[in-house]
Amino acid sequence: MSARWALVALLGDYLLAALAFGAVIPVFEQPDEHTHYYFAQHVAQTGELPVQAAEQDARGPWEQEGSQPPLYYLLAAPLLRLAGGDLADDGLWYNDQNTMGTPALVGNENRFIHDPAREGWPWRGYALAAHLGRLLSSLFGLITVLSVFLVARRVLGGRAWLGIAAAALVAFNPQFLAVSSTFGNDALIIALSSAALALLLVVWDQLEAGAEPADLAKTVPLLTVIMGLAPLAKISGLTLLAFTVGTLAWLSWRRRSWTILAATVGPVLLAAALLAGWWYLRNLRLYGDLLGFSRMHPGGTLREGFTWLSWLRTEAFGELKGVWLSSWGLFGWFTILLPAWVYAAITTLCAGALAALALWGRRLRDLDRGRLAWLALWAPW
């Protein structure tokens, strides 16, 4: 099978898996999925973004998600109107015995009580709208898988099979499938970030080949659109913007070219200002801060009495372990784990892969260590 058809098969298999995941999991049984839904429903019904109240208890049913940048909800709103979704503020039935946050307890994993008459097949109303929003996220996941292939192929010496292997690791990561089957904005920002990395590598190749600003006319415009949309998808899109600007500035410095700097960084910053700047200015006008954190977390984001030293001593290992587990599979409202042996096997394989790369990576011809280091710089962001 040629690499092209292998990639097509991989993308198709990913999409089938994501759609199956989204179809099987009851609606709103992913963390905060219902509050994301209420945000989109408000946009669909009013044509306006929610305004966050100063008091936490006075906020609408979208809760803290009403402080999120609005791109995903603007895209999902037409799907809700199409489905005729109308979920009352008190229209969900909470399972008061839910084991949220304590996956060691078995039973009562669902956050809500689900009535087949309202949410069963054939889907209709809010259930149909929620599944359409999940479909939208799955399509964003498709962009991510394709972008990972393009990034890995360029970094790993142009080897298509390694690109397909890297894309497959992402596509069939259980947690990635869960995120890509959730009504929420995470799949969107992941897709934009992955696509931006792929395009930055194209610009890198072009500049190393001696390209002038006019030669970047096909790549830079698409990159600028992505950079304009990323801060409107999630606040973490600002870190993607900073990383992109830093990369372009560094590539321009290597060429010692102010012209290339102006032709790349200039449009990126302009697009971000035009496409996303209005939302941050809205926050400043309504809430007095650009990011809107004062209304997203009225009580502040740090725990009372928090210090980094005490965290490192007492909590860091447990929380970082939780991050590692949730990178591979932590489902529901933090209620369902994979079997312990699966995490052990994944950890062992990852450690072995890193050791092999350190010991024998130099034997892999055309391995671009500079670009690997560049990708490693992005990892903590």
Bridge partners of 94, per DSSP, are 112
Amino acid at 107: G
Amino acid at 142: L
Give Cα 11 to chain centroid, integer Å: 18
| pLDDT score of 343 more than 60 | yes
| pLDDT score of 99 more than 90 | no
User: What are the residues whose beta carbons fall under 8 Å from the beta carbon of 253, sequence distance 6 or more?
Assistant: 261
Residue 175's pLDDT band (cuts 50, 70, 90) = very high
Residue 67's pLDDT band (cuts 50, 70, 90) = very high
Greatest Cα-to-Cα distance within the chain, rounded to the nearest angstrom: 66
Q: Is the dihedral of CA 24, 30, 36, 38 positive or negative?
A: positive
DSSP letter assigned to residue 56: G
Q: What is the pLDDT of residue 359?
A: 82
318 CB neighbour count, 10 Å cutoff? 9
Amino acid at 241: L
pTM of the model: 0.93
181 CB neighbour count, 10 Å cutoff? 25
**Beta strands 330-331 and 93-94: pairing type?**
unpaired
| pLDDT score of 71 more than 90 | yes
| pLDDT score of 302 more than 70 | no
Phi, psi of 96 (to 5 degrees): -70, -15
| pLDDT score of 332 more than 80 | yes
- The chain-wide mean pLDDT, for the chain, equals 91
**Beta strands 336-337 and 330-331: pairing type?**
antiparallel
Q: What is the pLDDT of residue 306?
A: 67
| pLDDT score of 87 more than 80 | yes
For residues 332 and 97, what is the distance between their CA atoms, to the nearest angstrom?
A: 14
Residue 84's pLDDT band (cuts 50, 70, 90) = confident
Residue 58's pLDDT band (cuts 50, 70, 90) = confident
Paired tokens of 318: 């447990």
Instruction: Identify the residue with better confidence: 310 or 265.
Output: 265
Residue 159's pLDDT band (cuts 50, 70, 90) = confident
Of residues 205, 239, 203, 207, the one with CA closest to residue 222: 203
Mean pLDDT, rounded, for 179-201: 97
Bridge partners of 353, per DSSP, are none
Q: CB–CB of 207/261 below 8 Å?
A: no
**So where are the chain's domains?**
1-93+122-184, 220-302
Paired tokens of 51: 């305004």
Q: What is the pLDDT of residue 234?
A: 97
Mean pLDDT, rounded, for 186-191: 98
DSSP letter assigned to residue 156: B
Q: What is the pLDDT of residue 35?
A: 96
Of residues 136, 128, 127, the one with CA closest to residue 183: 136
By mean pLDDT, which of 3-7, 47-51, 249-253, 362-366 is the weakest? 362-366
| pLDDT score of 304 more than 70 | no
Mean pLDDT, rounded, for 93-113: 85
